[in-house]
Amino acid sequence: MQGRSRIIWTGLGAASAALMLSLPLWERPAQGAVHAAMAVLLVYAAAHDAKTRIIPNGVVAALATLRLAELGALAVSDVRGALDASAASLAGAAAVLAVLLTTACLMERRTGSAGVGGGDVKLLGTLGFCFGWEAGLLIAGLSCALMLAHRLIPRFGKPEADAFAFAPYIAVAAITVVFLHDAFSL
């Protein structure tokens, strides 16, 4: 079963990357490549989290590094644009982290459990850094909606585990939001 799961996640990563690379980003081909790399990293994080319930810190660092490289490349041609994009990245991380941490604190106070792991918070905060506050909050909300919809589907007698991997929902939400933004904002 683990081999089959690995093949499925590898296929999803390759398909996501191909989809991001195939977008008509004639004016910004580097952005398509960065988003394809991010899709592969997200799918890897999802597969790893599904197997171990841990999101590797290296994936979070790689995502942030890709965004920093994007900002550095922008600074070469447009310093003012790079400063604006950097401010948007910081605002995105701050907004997503503020919402997540506030929600986690309220959940912990109410139920005794934060309801979200530290890796999930880091990953979502980094996605806010990568894509800005609007997309970051949309990714967080969509991933929660996907998780709730999936967990509400009856399991036909199979007991539902309390702990679950959240990164697969985050990956699907992030790839969907970024793809739709890239495909329709041109």
137, 62, 77, 61: which is closest to 103 by C-alpha? 137
Element (H, E) at 90: helix 79-111
**26 band by pLDDT with thresholds 50, 70 and 90:** very low
Domain coverage including residue 92: 2-184
SS3 67: helix
**180 band by pLDDT with thresholds 50, 70 and 90:** confident
State the pLDDT at residue 10.
62
pLDDT tens for 41-60 read 998 999 999 889 999 999 99
Distance between CA atoms of residues 75 and 89, nearest Å = 14
Residue percentage of the chain with pLDDT more than 70:
77
Interhelix angle for 29-52 vs 118-152, to 10°? 80
Phi and psi (nearest 5°) for 131?
-120, 0
Residue 122 near residue 84 (C-beta atoms within 8 A): no
pLDDT (mean) for 5-22: 59
**179 band by pLDDT with thresholds 50, 70 and 90:** confident
Checking if the pLDDT of 66 tops 70, the result is: yes
The count of domains in the chain is: 1
pLDDT tens for 80-127 read 999 999 999 999 999 999 999 999 888 888 888 877 888 999 999 999
